[in-house]
C-alpha cells in the first residue's frame, strides 16, 4: 500500500475525519506495527518496518496537514472570493518555496518528516533521502 492511500480516504475512521487519518496513522505507526506483529501479518509488518515507506508516509501526513489547514481557512461565513484568492496565491508561493527547500534536502517545513529523519538518525546525504526528495518534489510539482 502506498502511503498516500492512507491519506486519500474519504471514510470516517474511529471518530477521525479523513483529514486527520494520515497523521493519525503516522503517529500510531508503532502501535499499528505491534498490532500486525501480534497477528503475524507479514505484508503489513514489512510496510510499517520499512524506513523509506515511513518517510513517505511522514511527508504525506505533513503535506496533507498543511493543505487541510488551507482548506479550512477557505471555508466559513467570513470567507469571500477576494480573501480566498489571496490565500490560494499564497499557497502556490509556499509550494514553490517548499519545493525549493526540499531540493536542498531541507525538510523543516514538513515537521513529521523532519522529526522522523532525526529519530531514525538518517544522514541528509543518504540515498534514501535522495529518493524521498524525488518523491516530494514530484508531488509538489503536481500541486503547483
Summarised one tens digit per residue, pLDDT across range 80-95 is 888 888 889 999 999 9
State pTM to two decimals.
Answer: 0.83
The pLDDT score that the predictor gives to residue 29 is 94
Contacts of 73 (CB under 8 A, 6+ apart): 79, 87
Mean pLDDT of the chain: 87
Neighbouring C-beta atoms of residue 134, cutoff 10 Å: 12
- Looking at residue 15, what is its pLDDT? 47
CB atoms within 10 A of CB 23: 21
Assess whether pLDDT exceeds 90 at residue 107. Answer: yes
State whether residue 8 is helix, strand or coil.
Answer: coil
- Which is higher by pLDDT, 36 or 71? 36
CA gap 81, 83 in Å, rounded? 6
- The reported pLDDT for the residue numbered 144 is 86
**Those residues with Cβ within 8 angstroms of residue 117's Cβ, 6 or more apart along the chain or in another chain:** 55, 107, 124, 129
Which of the two residues, 84 and 121, has the higher pLDDT score? 121
Q: Among candidates 49, 127, 47, which has minimal Cα distance to 135?
A: 127
pLDDT grade for 73, boundaries at 50, 70 and 90 = confident
Cα 79 from Cα 21, distance rounded (Å) = 26
Q: Check pLDDT > 80 for residue 52.
A: yes
pLDDT of residue 19: 55
Cell of 17: 475525519
Amino acid at each position: 500500500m502506498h502511503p498516500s492511500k492512507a491519506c486519500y480516504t474519504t471514510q470516517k475512521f474511529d471518530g477521525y475525519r479523513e483529514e486527520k487519518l494520515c497523521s493519525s496513522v503516522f503517529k500510531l505507526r508503532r502501535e499499528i506495527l505491534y498490532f500486525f506483529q501480534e497477528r503475524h501479518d507479514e505484508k503489513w509488518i514489512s510496510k510499517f518496518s520499512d524506513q523509506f515507506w515511513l518517510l513517505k508516509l511522514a511527508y504525506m501526513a505533513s503535506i496533507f496537514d498543511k493543505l487541510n489547514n488551507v482548506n479550512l481557512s477557505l471555508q466559513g461565513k467570513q470567507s469571500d472570493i477576494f480573501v480566498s484568492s489571496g490565500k490560494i496565491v499564497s499557497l502556490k508561493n509556499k509550494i514553490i518555496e517548499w519545493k525549493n527547500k526540499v531540493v536542498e534536502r531541507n525538510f523543516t517545513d514538513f515537521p513529521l518528516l523532519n522529526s522522523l529523519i532525526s529519530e531514525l538518525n538518517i544522514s541528509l546525504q543518504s540515498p534514501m533521502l535522495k529518493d524521498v526528495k524525488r518523491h516530494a518534489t514530484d508531488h509538489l510539482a503536481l500541486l503547483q
